């Protein structure tokens, strides 16, 4: 922090004292970038290295967030049987391929799924005790088969 304050204030102070000097030529062309910033060459190299590392970290976090969003979108596309998007799949691949949803989002999706199951007719039927959905399915299929046979025998249709 003190390094940043020194850099900011030191640069402004040099500009102020340079403008008070009158019509002097600064001659910045022969100064290096480190001297222009008011720090030694080693400090400047360390500063540049730190900037590059911070940028790489930000880029990695940004890619991770984009991949998480793409995972969420692809989850909803699968859920609602929508066509897949190649851009989302490529973002997931670029981030490493095994991107998981953040815990909060996964929890929200799970809660929504549970609510939808409870609200659906099958969810209501499954919650009834002593009800066998398999037998209901078989009875419904048998009834449908009987209706098809009777429709074939009917001369009006």
Name, in order, each residue with C-beta under 8 angstroms of 94's C-beta and a sequence gap of 6 or more.
63, 67
- Answer yes or no: is 134 within a domain: yes
- For 63, the domain range is 39-99
pLDDT digits (tens), the chain, 157 positions? 666 667 766 666 666 666 555 444 444 444 577 777 788 888 889 999 999 999 999 999 999 888 888 888 888 888 788 898 898 888 888 887 677 777 887 788 788 877 777 666 666 666 667 667 677 778 888 988 888 888 777 776 5
- Answer yes or no: is 19 within a domain: no
Is residue 34 within 8 Å of 43, Cβ to Cβ? yes
- Answer yes or no: is 87 within a domain: yes
58 plus 92 within the same structural domain = yes
110 plus 92 within the same structural domain = no
Tokens 């911070």 identify what position?
A: 54
- Answer yes or no: is 67 within a domain: yes
87 plus 108 within the same structural domain = no
47 plus 86 within the same structural domain = yes
End position of a domain, from candidates 67, 84, 99: 99
- Answer yes or no: is 2 within a domain: no
Tokens 């790489």 identify what position?
A: 56
Q: Give me 40's structure tokens.
A: 């030694």
**DSSP assignment letter at 3:** H
Torsion from C-alpha of 36, 40, 41, 43, nearest 10 degrees: -110
- Answer yes or no: is 119 within a domain: yes
Q: How many domains does the chain have?
A: 2
117 plus 95 within the same structural domain = no
- Answer yes or no: is 120 within a domain: yes
- Answer yes or no: is 156 within a domain: no
Helix and strand tally (H, E) in the chain? 7, 0
* pLDDT value at residue 111: 84
Cα distances (Å, whole numbers) of residue 75 to 12, 27, 87, 101, 107? 53, 61, 14, 10, 13
91 plus 59 within the same structural domain = yes
125 plus 91 within the same structural domain = no
**Angle between the N-to-C axes of helices 41-79 and 103-119, in degrees from 0 to 180, rounded to the nearest 10:** 10
């Amino acid at each position: 922090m003190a390094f940043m304050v020194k850099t900011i204030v030191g640069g402004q102070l040099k500009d102020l004292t340079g403008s008070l000097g009158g019509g002097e030529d600064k001659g910045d062309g022969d100064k290096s970038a480190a001297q222009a910033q008011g720090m030694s060459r080693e400090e400047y190299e360390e500063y540049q290295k730190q900037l590059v590392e911070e940028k790489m970290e930000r880029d990695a976090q940004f890619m991770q967030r984009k991949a998480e969003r793409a995972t969420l979108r692809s989850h909803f596309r699968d859920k609602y049987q929508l066509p897949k998007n190649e851009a989302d799949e490529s973002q997931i691949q670029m981030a490493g391929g095994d991107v998981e949803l953040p815990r909060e989002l996964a929890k929200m999706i799970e809660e929504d799924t549970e609510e939808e199951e409870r609200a659906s007719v099958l969810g209501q039927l499954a919650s009834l005790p002593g009800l066998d959905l398999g037998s209901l399915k078989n009875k419904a299929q048998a009834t449908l088969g009987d209706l098809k046979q009777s429709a074939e025998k009917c001369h009006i249709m």
